[in-house]
Structures are given as C-alpha cells and as structure tokens.
DNA sequence: CGCTTGAGTGAACGCTGTAAAGCTTCAAAA
DNA sequence: TTTTGAAGCTTTACAGCGTTCACTCAAGCG
C-alpha cells in the first residue's frame, strides 16, 4: 500500500522545510522571542493559523527547528573530522589519526557553537519553554538528530580505544550505581566498549559541554573576556583521559 | 544629606520584597512563563501597571528575582560550609578543614541546584530573554549578588592554597593571553593568589558548573538516569587539582 | 486650606498562541 | 463531465501578554 508521494506531498514537504528555515532564520537574527508563529508566517507571506497545517503547535515547530540545528551541527563536526583526517601528514601513524580526529571534533564543536550561539542556546540551553522541547528530540529514537550527534563522538571514541587502548577503570572500580547505568547505556547503543571506557567518554562529554556552555552563556565573564585559552586548557585535561600526551598540535 | 528612611519608604521596601517573593514563587511553582506581570500582580491583589511603581519593567523585576536567588544560593552554600567545619572530628588537621569545606561547598551547590531547578535555570541557564538578565546582576558590582556567590568559593580556595599549597603552574607556563586576563581578574578582586592558582580555580569552576548544569538540564539523560555518581566522579577529578588525595569521606 | 506627591486603577495598543469556520483550488471518483 | 472531498489557506475571534497613559484617591506638609 505504499504509494509514491504525490506532487502535492513533495511540494508540502518542501514548504515544511521552508518554514523550519524561516523560523530558524528569525530565531537567529531577531532573537528567540521574535520567532513567533505570526512573524514566521508573515515572513513567508502566510497567516499564522496556516502553519497549523504543518505543525501541531509553536512548540512542535521549534522541535523541528531543533532537529534541523542538530543535523547541521553534526554535519559541521563530521566535516571537520574528515578534514582533520585529510590534513594529517602522510606519514602519520594511522592509529593516531583517531586522536587527531577526536580533538578536531571537540574544536569543531566549540567553533560551531561560537558561530551559532542562538542555535546552541536553543538545543543545549536550559529547557525553559516546557522542559521537553529539546529532550524529546534529543532522546526520541525516531527524530533522533541529537542521538546521531552523540554517535559521532562515540564512534570516534570507540575507534580510538580499539586502536590504541588507553587506561580505563576496571568494572569493579566503577561506582555500582554508575556501572549499572553504563551497562544499560551500552546495551541501548549496542556498543562493545568496556564500561570504564564509557565512563571516560561521559567524563569527556562533561568537560566539553561544561567548558563550551560556560563560555557561550557568559558565566565565565566574571573573570575572563576571552575564554578561548580555557578551552585549550580543557583539551589538555581531556587528552590524558584518552591516552594522549600532547593535547594537540595545530590550533 | 543622608536622611533616615521615612515610614513610607520602609513600607515600600517591604512591598518590593513581597513582589520579588511572589514572582519567584510563581516562577518556581508554575513555570517561567507563568510569572507574568499580570499574574504576579493578580497574586498580590494589584493590577499589572501598579508594579511599574516598583520596577522599571518585567525584566527589571526578574533581575531582582535573580539577585534574590543568588543570595539564597550563597546563603545555602555558606551554611553548608560552616556545617562541614562544625562536623569535622575534633582532632582534624586544621589545614585539612579547608579542603573539607571546599568539597562541602561543591556538594551544597549541587544539592541546592537539584532542589531549585527552576531557579538554577534562571540564573545559570542560557540567557534567553535578552542576554543580559543575568549578566548585569552577576557582574554589576552594585547589585553583585552573583559576585558574592563566587567570592564564597574563591575565599575557600584561597585559604586552602594558603594553608596547604598545592602544585600550580608557574606564570610562564600559563598561556600568555590567559595570563593577562588572570592578572586583570586578580586585580579586579584584589586577591593575592598566584595566577596559576586562579587558573586552577577557574578549572574547578568549569568542572563544577559543567557537571551540575549538564545534570540539571538533562543533557546527560541520553545515557544516565541518575547522574549522581558522575558528580562524585567529578569531585574525584577535582580533588587532585587542589592537592587532595581522597576525594572526600562522607557522602 | 491648598498643594504636592506617590500608589493604584482602568482603558487602550499592539503583540502573542490558538481555535473555529469558511473559502478556494484541484485531484480523483462517479 | 460533473461531483465530491480534502488540502491549503484566510478571516475572525478569544484570552492573555508587556507596556503606556490619563486618571483618582489619600496622605503629608507648609
């Protein structure tokens, strides 16, 4: 009973994407509160209720914007990963390329964030609107753009551990409660990493997220005008966690 | 030319505080968007325009709420610090008490946050409203409740370093740009700490903020249901930074 | 007594998200 | 070829928002 999408469907799908793009553009250029249904519709030469043909509510639309942003971010990080691999000198130890990629991914995450502060606030900020705007998109496996984004780092991390295992805590060294949760998480993502490696992965994510969000939300401004060096410092904290001695070479 | 506040002024001051409390209560119990001027006024048996006698705008009111929350948080952490000192066994090395206090302060920060998620979102979340709602309060030295909060940790940190110096990077080991900023910051707060200690202080803050906000904003839920062990893990990362071997004793 | 001042009100403006009803257009069925 | 039905959209309406303005009322003071 599957039938090819009619011309109408294709048109409509195109419009859906247009609405999302318009909403995102307004959100970025005019601020979050300017991305009202009416403003978006106005921008598209429509009226606000028309948008209810495409989205169930204003929040639903924003959810799709979040998904769009997530795939955008993932694409950027992914591109940076490949660029880093291509830029590696020919003689480089192939195992070390994974480490280079991981550092590049972290830097790309920060770079994208700094260039897309409003977007970052929407997808990684406090879930002010209704607590679930981000959450559902990030977790729901059907619209799981956030999941794909995390996967990007996890795969890199896995390959790095596979090729060049770094010291991780043994299972019985992990807090029992944490161990159980890590086992469940590993099962969920179908990974074969040791639990200790997953713990280290999450520690890295805490460091990365904390540093970047602290910087972009301005909660470091009480001390620093330019938190960039703090990010590099964080990288040099992160490096030994994954068995790297020199944090990174180029900046 | 300083004259005692008239009875009217005192009454008005009392009402100002009442408005802030009402706003905060609505914010916490009904969510951020329920804390509208009209709702606040309604709750107080007034009309919305009346509030303009006390605050310049809705955002201005929220700024005062932020200040109120900050002093609340600071008070909680401060109490926890004193409680930790009192609870220390009589024979404890007096120098080590500073370490115990610092760990207690970090735990208190997390505990308060978990018990006050909406408040935390308001003061430490993404500055959605207008980018400056928090910023001004946290930085402006006249309403500097956020400053006092940071001072709490800094003083503890300073004493710990004074009594039991831990290894810190030498000045010439610090990134030059960061070094300049740290020097400016040290000058701003009138501290005598070495720049390397200030750098370590900020690294601790990054760790603490990152862990707690990641937990409370749900950005760790993709992997963990209960991020509490991650916090303890963070504490054990933080401990060696300040020269502690065992992360902490009691939970 | 009259004047000033401050607190508070009600009405209004333009904005918001959302619901209901009606209109137009067009593909597919009769 | 005509009819039907639904998609896409508009118009209208409602309740609520922040904010402004003109106004009243009571208290304080010379």
Residues A15 and A138 in one domain: no
**How many residues would you count in chain B?**
251
DSSP-assigned letter for residue B4: P
Are residues A99 and A172 both part of a single domain?
yes
* C-beta atoms surrounding B50 within 10 Å: 14
Locus of tokens 């006698």: B53
Residues of chain A with pLDDT under 50: 1-8, 10, 128-142, 249-251
Task: Indicate whether B251 belongs to any domain.
Answer: no
Determine the 3-state secondary structure of B11 from DSSP: helix
Q: Which CATH number is B194's domain given?
A: 1.10.357.10
The mean of the pLDDT values for chain A is 85
Domain boundary among B14, B31, B56: B56
Nucleotide nearest to A47 (CA to C1'): D10
Residue A229, chain B, CB below 8 Å: the answer is: yes
Spans of chain B below 50 pLDDT: 1-8, 128-142, 250-251
Residue A8 Cβ < 7 Å to strand D: yes
| pTM to 2 decimal places | 0.88
pLDDT at A7: 42
Q: What is the pLDDT of residue A14?
A: 62
CA B5 to C1' D29 (Å) is: 17
Query: Is the Cβ–Cβ distance between B94 and B79 less than 8 Å?
Result: no
Inter-axis angle of helices B94-115 and B195-216, nearest 10: 30
Q: How many domains does chain A have?
A: 2
Q: Give the C-alpha distances (Å, rounded to integers) separating A246 from A233, A241, B172.
A: 12, 12, 18
Instruction: Give me the pLDDT at residue A12, please.
Output: 62
The tens digit of pLDDT for each residue in B169-180 reads: 999 999 999 999
CA angle A155/A159/A160 to nearest 5° reads 115
Question: How much is the pLDDT for B140?
Answer: 47
**Domain enclosing residue B134, as ranges:** 62-242
pLDDT at A13: 63
- Does a structural domain hold residue B249? no
Q: What are the chain B neighbours of A185 within 8 Å (beta carbons)?
A: 223-224
Residue of B nearest to A233 (CA): B203
CATH number (domain holding residue A5): 1.10.10
Among residues 41-100 of chain B, which lie with CB inside 8 Å of chain A? Answer: none
pLDDT tens, position by position, A79-108: 999 999 888 777 778 778 888 899 999 999
For residue B12, the model assigns a pLDDT of 65
Residues A51 and A72 in one domain: no
- A45: Cβ under 7 Å from strand D? yes
């Amino acid at each position: 009973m599957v039938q090819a999408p009619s011309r109408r469907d294709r048109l409509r799908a195109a419009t859906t994407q247009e609405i999302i793009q318009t909403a995102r553009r307004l959100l970025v250029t005019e601020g979050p509160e300017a991305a009202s249904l009416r403003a978006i519709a106005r921008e598209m030469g429509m009226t606000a209720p028309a948008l209810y043909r495409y989205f169930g509510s204003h929040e639903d639309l924003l959810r799709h914007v979040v998904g769009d942003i997530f795939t955008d971010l993932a694409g950027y990080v992914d591109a940076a990963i490949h660029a880093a691999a291509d830029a590696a000198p020919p003689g480089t130890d192939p195992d070390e390329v994974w480490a280079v990629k991981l550092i590049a991914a972290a830097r790309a995450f920060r770079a994208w964030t700094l260039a897309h502060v409003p977007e970052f606030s929407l997808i990684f900020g406090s879930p002010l609107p209704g607590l679930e705007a981000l959450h559902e998109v990030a977790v729901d496996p059907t619209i799981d753009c956030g999941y794909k984004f995390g996967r990007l780092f996890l795969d890199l991390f896995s390959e790095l551990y596979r090729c060049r295992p770094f010291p991780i805590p043994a299972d019985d060294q992990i807090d029992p409660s944490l161990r159980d949760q890590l086992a469940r998480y590993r099962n969920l993502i179908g990974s074969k990493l040791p639990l200790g490696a997953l713990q280290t992965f999450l520690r890295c994510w805490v460091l990365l997220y904390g540093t970047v969000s602290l910087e972009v939300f301005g909660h470091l401004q009480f001390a620093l005008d330019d938190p960039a060096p703090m990010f590099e410092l964080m990288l040099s904290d992160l490096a030994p966690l994954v068995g790297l001695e020199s944090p990174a070479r180029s900046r």
